[in-house]
């Protein structure tokens, strides 16, 4: 059986796909897809082999695009992907996640939708809008976006979401009711005596450890955190990192204690890699210690950033790690981050990176 690996890339101007064999040494680029709409998140549904892309066009509004033939042909739909008449319309889809037979979509302005027919039609899970904190949510720099979606792998009713800048929320009843999960995360942009609020933190990226659904990591606007109890309490794991600021986080496919980050130099310092030198930072012990991975990455005059959904791993052994930059480059590692190769340049701004392993 021959496998191939796909890197699914969402950009400001369409979706792209890179393809390689499992050696992951040589990559071929295809695209742009989705009529060059901004695509905030492109994911694979491993159960069906379908590729799904969520985004929104300034002209034509939000939609989820779908390809059942690895990108050769696409359809799109936004049936039901709307708030009630009179409310602020949805600008774009920001995040997608598959859970069992259901597909979830997070949107801007922040809200959650579910599809039970593979993305053909959508239903609003209005419970999130009914949370008492909702009138107090404020947008982050990218808007009031629901950008992180973490379904529990064994319990269909449980789901975590990350909203900028409202924080982390959890439901145990399929989206009817929600509670905040922000204890221990800072809001440095608030007055000194209000820096640990119940909600309002600017979570940048929320990820779940493999095989340990209650172990969550988050890159926040103000620090890096781990929780071992489903987000009820967060502890800082930023000691040893060059910065408390960054956007993406990516978990290892099998090791719950291994995590990849790409810290940037600070929220008011340009938001590019520190000292103009690119590095991915890896922990193998849940954030107790960190090591910088630089082999093959540019080590001078480098001023890119990496956005919140633009880093991912694959499920091969050893794991591949990938990230795409604000300047349209894509870097890949086939050895768990030890060494890197630039596999695409001159793409539009990269908004998301995900992977798919295909068995022929």
Partner 1 sequence: MPENLACQPVVVKLPGALVRLFPEAPRQVEIPASALVATVGDAIDALDRRWPGMRDRICDSTPSIRRHMNVFVSGERATLGTPLKPGEEVVVLTAISGG
**Residue 37 CB, nearest distance to partner 1 (Å)?**
9
User: Does 235 help bind partner 1 (rule: CB under 8 A)?
Assistant: no
> Binders of partner 1 among 86-145, rule CB under 8 A?
86-87, 89-90
Q: Which of 2, 47, 85, 154 binds partner 1 (CB under 8 A)?
A: 85
- Residue 87 CB, shortest distance to partner 1, in Å, is 7
Separation of alpha carbons 32 and 14, rounded Å: 5
| Residues 24-29: contacts with CB under 8 Å, at least 24 apart | 24/314, 24/316, 24/320, 24/332, 24/334, 25/334, 25/341, 27/332, 27/343, 27/344, 29/344
Please give the residues from 14 up to 53 whose contact with partner 1 meets the rule CB under 8 A: 35
Segment near partner 1 (CB under 8 A); pick from 16-24, 76-84, 97-105, 151-159: 76-84
Q: Which is nearer to partner 1, 57 or 183 (CB)?
A: 57
**Closest distance to partner 1 from the beta carbon of 82 (Å):** 4
Q: How far is the CB of 324 from partner 1 (least distance, A)?
A: 19
DSSP alpha helix (H) spans, the chain = none
Whether 212 contacts 242, CB under 8 Å: no
318: which 2 tokens?
A: 């050893």
CA dihedral 197, 199, 202, 207 (to 10 degrees): 120
Q: Residue 283's beta-bridge partner residues? A: 259
> What does the angle CA 232 – CA 234 – CA 236 come to, to the nearest 5 degrees?
180
Q: Which of residues 274-333 bind partner 1 (CB under 8 A)?
A: none
Are the C-beta atoms of residues 200 and 144 closer than 8 Å to each other?
no
When asked if residue 63 is in the footprint of partner 1 (CB under 8 A), the reply is yes
**Judged by CB under 8 A, does residue 189 bind partner 1?**
no
Phi, psi angle pair for 130, to nearest 5°: -85, -5
Find tokens 């942009």 and name the residue. 189
| Nearer residue to partner 1 within complex by CB, 78 or 220 | 78
What is the side-by-side order of every strand in the sheet holding 145-151?
A: 145-151, 159-164, 167-171, 179-180
79 lies in the site for partner 1, by CB under 8 A:
yes
> Shortest gap between Cβ of 60 and partner 1 (angstroms)?
4
Q: Does 59 bind partner 1 (CB under 8 A)?
A: yes
Q: Which is nearer to partner 1, 119 or 248 (CB)?
A: 119
In this chain, which of 60, 117, 155, 317 binds partner 1, going by CB under 8 A? 60
Q: Which one of the spans 82-90, 170-178, 191-199, 286-294 is the region binding partner 1 (CB under 8 A)?
A: 82-90
> Which parts of this chain interact with partner 1 (CB under 8 A)?
35, 58-61, 63, 76-79, 81-87, 89-90
């Amino acid at each position: 059986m021959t496998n191939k690996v796909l890197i699914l890339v969402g950009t400001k101007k369409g979706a792209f796909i890179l393809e390689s064999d499992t050696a992951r040494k040589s990559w071929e680029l295809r695209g742009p897809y989705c009529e060059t709409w901004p695509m905030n998140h492109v994911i694979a549904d491993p159960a069906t082999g379908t590729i799904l892309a969520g985004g929104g066009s300034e002209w034509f509004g939000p939609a989820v695009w779908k390809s059942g033939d690895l990108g050769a042909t696409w359809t799109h739909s936004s049936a039901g992907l709307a708030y009630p008449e009179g409310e602020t319309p949805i600008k774009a889809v920001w995040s997608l996640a598959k859970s069992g037979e259901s597909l979830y979509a997070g949107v801007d302005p922040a809200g959650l939708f579910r599809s039970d027919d593979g993305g053909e039609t959508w239903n609003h899970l209005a419970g999130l809008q009914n949370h008492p904190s909702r009138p107090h949510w404020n947008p982050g720099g990218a808007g009031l976006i629901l950008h992180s979606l973490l379904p529990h792998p064994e319990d269909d009713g449980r789901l975590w979401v990350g909203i900028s800048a409202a924080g982390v929320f959890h439901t145990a009843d399929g989206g009817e009711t929600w509670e905040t999960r922000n204890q221990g995360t800072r809001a440095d942009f608030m007055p000194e005596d209000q820096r640990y609020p119940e909600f309002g933190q600017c979570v940048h990226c929320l990820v779940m450890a493999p095989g340990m659904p209650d172990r969550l990591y988050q890159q926040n606007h103000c620090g890096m955190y781990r929780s071992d109890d489903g987000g009820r309490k967060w502890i800082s794991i930023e000691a040893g990192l060059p910065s408390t600021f960054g956007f993406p986080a990516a978990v290892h496919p099998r090791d719950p204690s291994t995590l990849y980050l790409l810290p940037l130099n600070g929220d008011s310092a340009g938001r590019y890699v520190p000292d103009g030198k690119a590095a991915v930072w890896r922990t193998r012990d849940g954030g107790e210690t960190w090591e910088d991975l630089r082999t093959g990455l540019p080590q001078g005059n480098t001023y890119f950033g990496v956005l919140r959904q633009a880093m991912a791993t694959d499920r091969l052994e050893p794991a591949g790690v990938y990230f795409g930059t604000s300047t349209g480059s894509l870097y890949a590692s086939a050895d768990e981050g030890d060494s890197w190769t630039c596999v695409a340049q001159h793409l539009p701004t990269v908004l998301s990176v995900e992977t798919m392993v295909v068995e022929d």
